[in-house]
Structure formats: C-alpha cells, structure tokens
Structure 1
Amino acid sequence: MSNRVSVINGPNLNMLGKREPGIYGDLSLTSIHELCTKAGAELGFEIDFHQSNHEGNIIDFLQGANDTAIGVVLNAGAYTHTSVALHDAIRSISIPVIEVHLSNVHAREKFRHKSMISSVCQGVICGFGPNSYKLALQAFAETNNS
C-alpha cells in the first residue's frame, strides 16, 4: 500500500479566511492544503486533500480512503457534533482516523463539546489553528507509519 494520507474537510471549511477569522484564522483552505502537502512530504506522506459541504460526500471520501490510504486526518466541521452516519462510516473502515479542529471546541458553545466521532477515532487534536493538521500528521507518522 502507498504512503498516502487522506485529509478530509467538512462543511463550511471552504469559507476559511473569510468566515469568522477571529475563531478560525485568516488562512484559506487552499493555504491549509499547501501546509498539509508540505508537512506530509517532510514526513514521507503523499496527501489526498478533500472538502465537501455534503455529508454523503464525506462518507464517500472516508470509504474511498480505506482502499487508497494508510489513514485519514478528518476535520468534519459541524458534522462532528451531529453525524451518526460519519461515526458509522469511520467504524466501517480499517484504517485509523485522527479528528482535528482549528479551534478549541471545548472552549466554545456547549453544543460543540460533544463529538459523535471521537470515540471511533484514534485521537483528537484541536485548538492549534492550521497547525492542528500538521500535529495530526506528525502524530500519525509516529504512531501508524511502520
């Protein structure tokens, strides 16, 4: 199998840099893609980068990664807090998933404190802005790249 990692982004992340920069920062999703590609290359990973505002597409990305990647870095956005379907999709694949968030969801609104997917992910990284992705790739490299 390749040394490919899939980075999957959920709803509204296409609006990064425009949407609430005080919470999410001023980098665009394109800049985060570049950060992931560079960090991935330094760690020996090829990065597949995806974004969708549609839950079914995110499930398709997860299921597709099972056949092409050694793991997934997932920022499910608001679906983190609502989607049993994403929980089930993660459970259905055999590769590890690391959940990431740009903001510290535990320092925000109470409804963001509950994740429907954390229990089926290898780990969770939140609150470090775009570096949350880089930290997830580093953690992934140290724990899964044998």
Structure 2
Amino acid sequence: MAAKVQMGKKVPNFKIESSNGETFNLADYKGKKVLLYFYPKDNTPGCTTEGIEFNELLPKFKKLNTEVFGISRDSLKSHDKFICKYDFKFHLLSDEEEEVCKLFDVIKEKNMYGKMVMGIERSTFIIDEDGKLVGEFRKIKAAGHAAEMLEAVKAL
C-alpha cells in the first residue's frame, strides 16, 4: 500500500479491523458513498465532539446512501469503550499499524504541549459509489465538521 490516494482516482481497496468484530473491506461498499473521518484519539474532547455530531447526523447520511466510519490508531478495545460511552451507531476502524493512515497521508508532525510528535491530522475523505475519491478535507476543526460533511455529500 505505498501509493497515496488522489482526488478523482479510484481508492485502492483496503481491509482493516472494525469495531463490529468484522474486517472492513472497502470493496464491499461499491454502490454506496463512504465517508472516512480520521481522528487522533478516542475519548478526547475534539474527537468526542466530532463523533457525537456524526452520530446525530447519521440518519441524514444514510438517506444520501453514505456510510460513515471513524478511523484512528486506537485499539478495538478502546473503540468499543468509546462507542459504548456515547452510543455511536456507526463503526470505528482500528489502524494500529498506520497502513490506512499512510494510504491517506494523514500522519503529520504535530505540536503537543510544546513537543513535536507524529499523529493523525484530523481529516475526512469521501469516496463515491464507484470507489473514487471525490472529497478531501484536511486540518479540520471538530465542532461543526459533521454538518459541513453532510453539505459536501449533498453537493455531490
């Protein structure tokens, strides 16, 4: 998985562990839009806000034939706690090996309390029914992001 995704191009198929106990396989979603939002860490303030907002708007995404998935480097156990705590109705994907993070080029140098660390830059990608990347949003602010993404999906 060395190549990076590109706007307007087909996203290479990938498989990754999902919080529903199954393996997420992008190819299984042909015919649907897939919204992947990458976030830094389960149970942190911004990531919680973002997850709650996506959860609240989930029925509207579904009406637009769009499946929503959150993805971070957290373990499935961490994801399960996060889902249970906030009753998320969508699945979280665990990328502990950073393979999908690298595919989407979301691992960036970040300043954490004055120390430079490598972490996930909050980013969202929309893949159309044919598997092409049609939306790329980086350096996102968590609050209000889900509503912005709903408008982006409506505009497709």
Q: TM-score range by the shorter chain?
A: 0.3 to 0.5
Larger C-alpha radius of gyration, 1 or 2?
A: 2
Quick check: which one's strand share is greater?
2
Where relative contact order (Cα < 8 A, 6+ residues apart) is larger, the structure is: 2
Quick check: which one's helix share is greater?
1
